[in-house]
Amino acid sequence: MRLTALSLAMLLAADLPGCASNVDGWLEDKQVDALPAIFIPATAEEIQRQCPRVNGPLGCAVRDWKNRICRIYVEAPPKPWIASHELYHCAGFSHPL
Ligand SMILES: [Zn+2]
């Protein structure tokens, strides 16, 4: 699936954080550049605060373009599938809107 120019512009404008939840499926193409990732141990409340648009996220990847870093908020230790899911967001991939 390819993004239209409009939806890509909306995605870039919103710069939505990526979150592990019950959302499955990835857009086929990378949407933004990859950023180096760091893991930040967080409570469920903090993860929810970082990803307010997702209901009950298990992890949240926040791209910080100014500082060129992607912060992954997860409960420690993260389950491997959650860690890899968030790393995929930091590598530039997103879910369909
Ligand atoms: Zn996700």
User: For residues 74 and 76, what is the distance between their CA atoms, to the nearest angstrom?
Assistant: 6
User: For residues 97 and 45, what is the distance between their CA atoms, to the nearest angstrom?
Assistant: 24
Please indicate, yes or no, if residue 36 is contained in any of the structural domains. Answer: yes
* Measured torsion, CA atoms of residues 46, 70, 4, 22, in degrees rounded to the nearest 10: -40
Please indicate, yes or no, if residue 54 is contained in any of the structural domains. Answer: yes
Please indicate, yes or no, if residue 35 is contained in any of the structural domains. Answer: yes
Evaluate whether 75 touches 41 at the Cβ level (below 8 Å): yes
Residue ranges making up the domain that contains 47? 5-90
* Per-residue model confidence as pLDDT tens digits over 46-74: 999 999 999 999 999 999 999 999 999 99
Q: Residues whose CB is under 5 A from ligand 1 (ion)? A: 18
Kindly give the distance from the C-alpha atom of residue 5 to the centroid of ligand 1, in angstroms, as a whole number.
Answer: 21
- Paired tokens of 89: 């967001």
Please indicate, yes or no, if residue 96 is contained in any of the structural domains. Answer: no
Does the bond joining 78 to the residue before it have cis omega, within 30 degrees of 0? no
Work out the percent of the chain whose per-residue pLDDT is above 90. Answer: 67
Kindly give the distance from the C-alpha atom of residue 15 to the centroid of ligand 1, in angstroms, as a whole number.
Answer: 13
Q: How many domains does the chain have?
A: 1
Kindly give the distance from the C-alpha atom of residue 72 to the centroid of ligand 1, in angstroms, as a whole number.
Answer: 11
